[in-house]
A = this chain, B = another copy of it.
Amino acid sequence: MAEKGLLLVLSGPSGVGKGTVKSAIVENKVFPFEYSVSMTTRKPRPGEVNGKDYYFVTQERFEQAINQGELLEYNQYVNNFYGTPLAPVKKMLNEGKDVLLEIDVNGAQKVREKMPDGVFIFLTPPDLHTLHLRLENRGTESEDVIMGRIKQARHEILVMQDYDYAVVNDTVANAVDHIKAIVDAEHVSVKRVIDTYRKMVRED
């Protein structure tokens, strides 16, 4: 039965290891998914292929893509723009293929607005998960350090609450196992399969 693919959005705080986890999923072929090729205004580096590594475009073309709603999300790093074209993502999902996006939390928020059916996975810093131990053992660390971490933790938890899953990146292997389970479980969730069953019994 032809179900739509899953839009998997892997995000989390800066430095949490999103790229490493994504690479592990790719290298170990944990589950099949399609890449979304980003659009960027930065110049190609030697060996980079247009349409494979990125869609390399001019600033004008990028602004046009923004204005015409062609991008699922976009962001600026240094002086360059990076964005996710919407049309190929929708096409792959309609063909029943899962699509994995590894993006920062601002990008993930924009994707959520446009595609609320996506599966939003928040990669959680391991020290957020173990913060309670540090709180219980005050005295072994300076109060300033702990208070700083609590403040940051509050912000991370505020961001996390808009996600579907919170996966602790204690080890890459553990994080990958959890993400594999999430993908498997989402594929058998009633909200995703019920329409296919309903269509089936309507055709008589």
Contacts and interface: CB of A to CB of B under 8 A. Distances in A.
B131 A200 contact: yes
Contacts of A87: none
B185 A186 contact: yes
Nearest to A135: B203
A185 B190 contact: no
Nearest to A1: B132
Contacts of A190: 122, 160-161, 163-166
Interface of A: 1, 122, 128-129, 131-132, 135, 147, 150, 153-154, 157, 160-161, 163-168, 177-178, 180-182, 184-186, 188-190, 193-194, 197-198, 200-201, 203-204
Contacts of A201: 131, 150, 153-154, 157
Contact of A157 (B182, B189, B197): B197
Contacts of A132: 1, 200
A194 B180 CA distance: 21
> What 10 A-B pairs come out closest when comparing CB atoms?
A181-B184, A185-B185, A181-B181, A182-B185, A181-B185, A157-B197, A132-B200, A153-B201, A154-B201, A165-B188
Given A157-B194, A160-B194, A194-B157, A200 B135 contact: yes
B184 A164 contact: no
Given A200-B153, A201-B150, A203-B135, A166 B193 contact: yes
Nearest to A177: B184
Nearest to A128: B197
A132 B150 CA distance: 54
B178 A185 contact: yes
A1 B58 CA distance: 49
Contacts of A166: 188-190, 193-194, 197
Contacts of A185: 165, 178, 181-182, 184-186
